[in-house]
Amino acid sequence: MTTVQPTVVSAEAVDVATRGGAGAARRRPRGSRPFRSPQAQELWGWTFVAVPMLLFLTFVIIPVVMAVVLSFTDYAVIGDPEWVGVENYRRILDDPIFWLALRNTVIYTVMFVPLGVLVALGTALLLNRSSRVVNLFRTLFYIPVVASTVATATIWYWLLNPQSGLFNIVLGWFGIDGPAWLYDSKWAMTAIVLMSVWSGFGTNMLIYLGGLQGIPRELYEAVRIDGANAWQSLRYITLPGLSRTTFLISTLLIIGAFQVFDQAYLLTKGGPGNSTLTVVYYIYNQGFGGLKMGYASALSFVLFLIIAVFSILNFRLTSRSQS
Amino acid sequence: MTADAQTYVLRATRPRTPRQRLGTALWFVAVLLISLTTVFPLVWTIVTSLKPEGEILTSSLRIWPDAPTLENYVRAWTTVPFGRYFFNSTFLAVAGVVLNIFFGSLAGYAFARLRFRGKRVLFGALLSSLMIPGIVTMVPTFLVLRRFPFAGGNDLFGDGGTGFINSYWAVILPGAAGAFAVFFMRQFFASMPEELAEAARIDGASEFRIFAQIYMPLASAGAAVLGILTFQAGWNSFMWPLIVLSDRSMLTVQVGLAAFKSEHTTDYGPLMAGTVIVSLPVLLIFVLAQRYIIEGVAHIGSK
């Protein structure tokens, strides 16, 4: 949607914020009169938004502009930034670890987003009934969202223990010899995906439930009279009716998935053998581990572009399935 | 509870044919299975935290310990300064709640109810900032805090000290007036009638009084939802506190638990006890305010 434009809009906003800020300072309100002119309301408006906008300028607009500039420099926090032109971006192209991290992140996204949408949609459809017991299950389904990623990761760390973990015990009942999960480079990312879906689907389930309420009942009545079965009314009424919600949820999931960090940091520290090193984890290592602030900024911009491209692709895909 | 609810549903839906009855039964099997996967890990965590060391590995599936003990809690609490972490997390989360409700309401009200030049552009910029991935501003925000003039031993040009890094400000300032909070509160004020303000203006009330005494009380339910969501997000946040707070005495419960986990990888008992300690406040708030939380999230989705 508008994912590509923020930097343009932000530059505009810096301009407005500085001009408006100066204007508000020049004409401070001097006490209130009973009948206020539009000008007086203008002063109050600016007074109300002054502090929030100052914080917005300092911690959003300025950082966005800084990120662009920094990505063309070599900067180690201490000392002055050194201008290096497009050197950082050229280095990214030849950086094998970046490509590995990108590959891991794409694998994560490709597994996590469809699974996240399906589980949220499935549970929402299950709970889209009018009875009081539904509220109880809605609460129970939502519980994993309440726990922090650290708490969830600590629990899953144990659930996934190869010998005494619940996963492999249950798999053992069915005669399956479970993998070593977090210690196996083939399975570690899958484990992280499963944990992320488990801990996050509750929110999207609620959003889907909101979307389901918005589909008019008469449509279902109409297709039932035409002799449609449950699958057909799902396919031709429910899914098209939810396409806006699906677009919202999948966009949020894509943006989040490309920035996955906490889970990988907490469960595997990027291992084994870099198999769960994600792009944000790599940026974290470069920026705050190696103090390469310029290179880290360039990496974040590249990631931003990739997120924008995938969001646009997703928009195309969702809008096509709608028509 | 479940049995009561079940009979209620059976009566409410009144399945007429055997097929419909089978459908209801299958539905119950499905939702009970899903509930098991969402709730059981947490129950198991609590149970494990109460088991003595020997029982944890030998009878890990046993749902109740033979000899329940609080020894894991004692060990978790004494090996790590959880009390200090608790204070840090509580302070940061509460400060976030207060500031976001205050600034979010103030700015949200102005954007919804007052006329001033530049309003549309500002609000548009704020809204589109919600689309910027957090990773883009992460490094520069760290640098802004670190090189903030006259903070933490810095001079005018931000040299000489460490700025706001390793202080509460490093977490509080960047999140004090989130774009989300402004947007969320604006939605509430936008739906309120204009006439209340007109009447008060004729009576000579100042714009701040109109906001504080007439509109704010009407928006208190919305502010409560915002407060709960902000508290949860603040209490559970991990990456930013990990980056800006490195001093041992400044850690939050989440960063503290993560450090505890990597130092005691196989001490499952104390680890699970620590997890319970860290999760207790948010779980408690969820149990008390779950209706508001669930409706609040659904409200966001309907926008």
Tens digits of residue pLDDT in A169-225? 899 999 999 999 999 999 999 999 999 999 999 999 999 998 898 888 889 989 989
Across the interface, whether the CB atoms of B272 and A155 are under 8 A apart is answered yes
Q: What's the confidence (pLDDT) of residue A68?
A: 93
DSSP A263: H
Q: Are B146 and B162 in contact (CB under 8 A)?
A: yes
> Tens of pLDDT along A240-253?
999 888 998 999 89
Say how many CB pairs under 8 Å bridge A and B. 302
Q: How far is it, in rounded angstroms, from Cα A75 to Cα A73?
A: 6
Q: B148: closest CA among B136, B132, B165?
A: B165
pLDDT of residue B215: 93
pLDDT confidence of residue B159: 80
Give me the percent of chain A exceeding a pLDDT of 90. Answer: 62
Domain ranges of chain B: 2-71, 80-263
Chosen for mutation from B116, B285, B287, B295 (greatest number of chain A CBs closer than 10 Å) is B116
Selected residues 157-176 of chain A with any CB under 8 Å from a CB in chain B: 157-159, 164, 166, 169
Residue A73 CA to residue B289 CA, distance in Å, equals 49
Closest CA of chain B from A97, distance in Å: 18
Distance CA A102, CA A282 (A): 9
The per-residue pLDDT of chain A, averaged, comes to: 85
Query: Taking 90 as the threshold, does the pLDDT of residue A41 lie above it?
Result: no
Are the C-beta atoms of residues B215 and B269 closer than 8 Å to each other?
A: no
Q: How high is the pLDDT of residue A36? A: 57
The third-level CATH classification (topology) of the domain covering B80-263 is MetI-like fold (1.10.3720)
The more confident residue out of B67 and A323 is B67
Per-residue confidence (pLDDT) for residue B158, from 0 to 100: 78
Which residues of chain B have a CB within 8 Å of the CB of A150?
236, 238, 254-255, 257-258, 261, 278
pLDDT of residue A12 exceeding 70, the answer is: no
Asked if the C-beta of A300 comes within 8 angstroms of chain B's C-beta atoms, the answer is: yes
Q: Is cis: bond before B68, omega within 30 of 0?
A: no
Residue A29 has pLDDT above 70, yes or no: no
Looking at the complex, report in whole angstroms how far the Cα of residue A320 sits from the nearest Cα belonging to chain B: 22
Instruction: Decide if A52 and B57 are in contact by the 8 Å CB cutoff.
Output: no
Spatial separation of the C-alpha atoms in residues A201 and A141, rounded to whole Å: 8
Q: Chain B within 8 Å of A64 (Cβ-Cβ)?
A: yes
Chain A nearest-CA distance from B301, in A, is 5
Dmax over CA atoms of chain A, in Å, equals: 82
Listed in sequence order, the residues at least 6 apart from A110 whose beta carbon sits closer than 8 Å to its beta carbon are none
Rounded mean pLDDT for each run of 10 residues along chain B, 303 residues in total: 44 66 91 94 90 78 82 89 93 97 96 91 91 89 92 81 92 93 91 87 89 92 89 94 93 93 84 91 87 73 56
Q: Does B157 touch chain A (CB under 8 A)?
A: no
Whether residues B279 and A146 touch (CB distance < 8 A) is answered with: yes
What 3-state DSSP class applies to A76?
coil
Chain A: residue whose CA lies nearest to B101: A52
- Residues of B in Cβ contact (< 8 Å) with A144: 38, 41-42
Is the CB of B79 inside 8 Å of chain A's CB atoms? no
Number of H-type helices and E-type strands within chain B = 16, 0
Largest CA distance in chain B: 80
**Considering only A86-90, A113-117, A158-162, B54-58, which range has the smallest mean pLDDT?**
B54-58
- Taking the C-alpha atoms of residue A84 and residue A41, their distance in angstroms, rounded to an integer, is 48
How far is CA A195 from each of CA A145, A200, B190, rounded to the nearest angstrom?
11, 9, 39
Contact between B61 and A169 under an 8 Å Cβ cutoff? The reply is: yes
Name the one residue in this structure whose structure tokens are 């670890």. A97
Q: Concatenated DSSP letters for A178-244?
A: ---GGG-TTTHHHHHHHHHHHHHHHHHHHHHHHHHHTS-HHHHHHHHHTT--HHHHIIIIIHHHTHH
Calpha distance A300→B134 (Å, rounded) = 9
pLDDT, average across residues A53-58: 95
Using alpha carbons, select from A48, A147, A108, A80 the residue that is nearest to residue A293: A80
Q: State how far the Cα of A85 lies from the Cα of A79, in Å rounded to an integer.
A: 18
- Check if the beta carbon of residue B110 is closer than 8 Å to that of residue B210: no
Cβ atoms of residues A300 and B138 within 8 Å? yes
Distance from CA of B271 to the nearest CA of A (A): 7
A200, burial (CB in 10 Å: exposed 0-12, middle 13-18, buried 19+): buried
Q: Does B243 touch chain A (CB under 8 A)?
A: yes
Residue A74's φ and ψ, nearest 5 degrees, are -115, 115
Distance CA A152, CA A201 (A): 14
Question: Which residues of chain A have a CB within 8 Å of the CB of B235?
Answer: 148
Using the predicted structure, report yes or no on whether residue A21 has a pLDDT greater than 60.
no
The H-or-E segment that residue B34 falls in is: helix B18-49
Contact of A45 with chain B, judged by CB distance below 8 Å, is answered with yes
Show the CA angle centred on residue B253, arms to residues B249 and B254, nearest 5°.
Answer: 120
Closest to B38 in 3D by CA, of A217, A140, A149: A140
Min CA distance, A134 vs chain B (Å)? 9
ipTM of this complex: 0.85
CB-based contact, A104 to chain B, within 8 Å: no
Q: Which residues contact A299 (CB under 8 A, 6 or more apart)?
A: A92, A98, A279, A282, A283, A286
DSSP string for residues in B262-296:
HHSTT-HHHHHHHHHHHHHHHHHHHHHHHHHHHHH
Distances (CA, A) of B250 to B169, B255, B263: 11, 10, 18
Q: How far apart are the first and last CA of chain B?
A: 34
CA distances from B240 to A112, B170, B237, B257 (A): 23, 9, 7, 15
